[in-house]
Amino acid sequence: MTDENKIVKNCVASVHYTGTLEDDEVFDSSEGRDPLTFLVGHRQMIPGFEEEMMGAAVGERRVFTLEPDRAYGQREEEGVVQIPKEQFEGMEIEVGMTLVAEMGGGPAPFNIVEMNDDTVTADFNHKLAGKTLTFSVEVVEVRMATDEEIAHGHVHGPGEHHH
């Protein structure tokens, strides 16, 4: 079998997957949807996911568990901040919502974890930070990326790409 049928750097991989937490709760799955397609080696996936899938062939299924350091990292308490409620004036907000703040380094998603009359507690940690994740992944398709996809750092769709 050649590398054309295996996941290697600078290939485009399409996979079906199910991700579960330690209590077997499914946190994400491609079931009932199109497969997840990504450019390998271009930081589109969490590090451990790509590492575990390297060399996998079309039709192969792999099951692996990632500790937080190979997934979304550890939770950082400094990622939880109090924001004056007046900054959300005119917005309908509630605990559990995910919003995006425009920061100096670009957009930063956060979750509203608590509110009172004066402040909103925002958690900038990824929802899966600090969690151990298990993935069941089946390789559906693999092809070498085009020079243009590699230069742009992402997969282009059928026909033409859209930016």
Tokens linked to 156: 């282009």
**pLDDT of 85 over the 90 cut:** yes
**Boundaries of every domain in the chain:** 3-72+128-152, 77-123
Tokens linked to 67: 């500790």
Specify the pLDDT at position 2.
Answer: 54
Fold of 3-72+128-152: Chitinase A; domain 3 (3.10.50)
**pLDDT of 162 over the 80 cut:** no
Cα→Cα distances 5→126, 135, 144, 147, Å: 33, 21, 9, 18
Question: Where does 77-123 sit in CATH, by number?
Answer: 2.40.10.330
**pLDDT of 145 over the 60 cut:** yes
Nearest to 131 by CA among 31, 10, 21, 38: 21
Q: Do domains 3-72+128-152 and 77-123 have the same CATH topology?
A: no
Q: What is the DSSP letter of 97?
A: -
Burial code (b: 16+ CB inside 10 Å, e: under 16) for 93-108 equals eeeeeeeeeeeeeeee
Output the pTM of the full model.
0.82
